[in-house]
Structure 1
Amino acid sequence: MRYLLWLIKFLLFVVLFVFAMHNAEPVALKFLLGYSWEAPLALVLLAFFILGALLGLTAALGQVVRQRRELVALRKELRNRAAPIHPAAPDPLLEQPRDAV
């Protein structure tokens, strides 16, 4: 299984490497006020992919923090419910007879 995962990673690397080599022509991104940025197409795509992933993670961060707080509160409540305040007395019907040994 480990070799299969390495093979898949290697094939993915080769495909992405070939994609980058075939898209090495420079492209110009034009911004406001006449600013522009020239870079290979593969680099531009990689930069915007990383930027989008970071933006998505940032957008989800608030929800993750809220759920973690809720999880901590629920675990604390569960611990408080699981610890009995007064230990229950043993049930005499379920107790083994002492003279049966």
Structure 2
Amino acid sequence: MRIFVWLARAFVFFALFAFALNNQQESAVRWFFGYEWRAPMVIVVLTAFAGGCVFGVLAMVPSWWKHRRVARRHAPLDMPAKPQAAPQAAAPLSDFGPEHPPRDGL
């Protein structure tokens, strides 16, 4: 499975690298008041993509905080603060008392 993850990462890297090589021509972004920014097309596109990702994450932060508050409010009080390091093994069938007889076939 690890090899597939690394192959996917390599594919994404080479696809972005090819994208960057194919978009080296200079472009201009014109802002207000006559300000102009000149950069290679790949930088402009990747900057716009990164800005959109940052804006999307920042737009979701208030919702995440609200859901955390609701989850904390509805969490049971006897719930431990940290999960246990390792789950405990189930008791063997011979340890069951008469009130919990073992089931047939197990």
Counterpart of 1:57 in structure 2 is: 57
Structure 2 residue runs of 5 or longer lacking an equivalent are: 79-98, 100-106
Query: Residue by residue, what CA displacement relative to the aligned partner does 1:48-94 show, whole Å, maximum 9, x if unpaired?
Result: 1111111111111000000001111111xx226xxxxxxxxxxxxx8
Write the letter of the residue equivalent to 2:53.
Answer: A
Q: So what's the TM-score if we normalise by structure 1?
A: 0.74
Q: Distance in 1 between matches of 2:67 and 2:33?
A: 43
Write the letter of the residue equivalent to 2:21.
Answer: M
Point out the structure with max Rg over C-alpha.
Answer: 1
Counterpart of 1:86 in structure 2 is: none
Moved runs in structure 1, 4+ residues, more than 6 A?
A: none
Q: CA deviation at 1:33?
A: 1.3
Q: CA deviation at 1:3?
A: 0.8
Question: How many pairs align?
Answer: 79
Write the letter of the residue equivalent to 2:72.
Answer: V
Normalized per residue, the structure richer in helix is 1
1:71 aligns with 2:83: no
Q: So what's the TM-score if we normalise by structure 2?
A: 0.71
Structure 1 residue runs of 5 or longer lacking an equivalent are: 81-93, 95-101
Q: CA deviation at 1:46?
A: 0.7
